[in-house]
């Protein structure tokens, strides 16, 4: 074996080729590493966007106040929940008054149809909720400008 190694003659041509191959291998490894790092960064950004960034985006601005997406989405979910409850209550009322096929049935069917339309038209529901939120902010800002305040006792009295 020692004889075989000594018989191999390494020429300048062989050395240059080995050097070129090592440089190409380094470039290849560097390129693959950079591409892999970019893919990982894009995936991380996508995850962060879906879990954090989207919820903090501004949906609307009223004066200096911002309405952020998480607040808006919560209100839309609540509005949908209220509509579903209203639908269930209307069905119960219809059953109490003889069902949907009784003389009062058309009234209840109209109400149920209106609620269904609101639930299926998500754009309309979302814009209604956003308009309501903007109106609330405008009223709050104007009340603050005028120095109008409401105490907790006044709120409790109004509720009762």
Same structural domain for residues 133 and 73? yes
User: Is 158 a domain residue?
Assistant: no
For residue range 17-33, what is the model confidence (pLDDT) as tens digits?
Answer: 888 999 999 999 999 99
Residue 61 confidence class, pLDDT cut points 50, 70, 90? very high
pTM of the model: 0.65
Of 12, 36, 54, which residue sits at a domain end? Answer: 54
In this prediction, residues 140-155 reach a mean pLDDT of: 88
CA 30 remoteness from chain centre? 36
Same structural domain for residues 50 and 63? no
Same structural domain for residues 46 and 109? no
* The length of the chain, given as a count of residues: 160
Same structural domain for residues 143 and 64? yes
Range of the domain at 85: 59-147
Domains in the chain, number = 2
Quick one: which H or E segment has residue 62? strand 58-62
């Amino acid at each position: 074996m020692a004889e075989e190694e000594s018989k191999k003659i390494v020429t300048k041509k062989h050395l240059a080729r080995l050097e070129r191959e090592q440089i190409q291998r380094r470039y290849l490894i560097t390129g693959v590493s950079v591409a892999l790092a970019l893919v990982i960064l894009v995936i991380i950004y996508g995850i962060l966007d879906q879990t954090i960034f989207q919820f903090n985006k501004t949906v609307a601005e009223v004066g200096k106040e911002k309405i952020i997406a998480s607040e808006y989405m919560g209100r839309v979910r609540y509005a949908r929940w209220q509509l579903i409850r209203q639908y269930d209550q209307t069905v119960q009322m219809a059953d109490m008054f003889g069902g949907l096929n009784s003389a009062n049935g058309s009234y209840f069917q109209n109400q149920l149809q209106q609620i269904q339309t609101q639930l299926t038209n998500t754009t309309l529901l979302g814009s209604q909720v956003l308009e309501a939120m903007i109106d609330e902010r405008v009223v709050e800002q104007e009340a603050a400008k005028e120095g109008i305040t409401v105490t907790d006792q006044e709120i409790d009295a109004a509720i009762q």
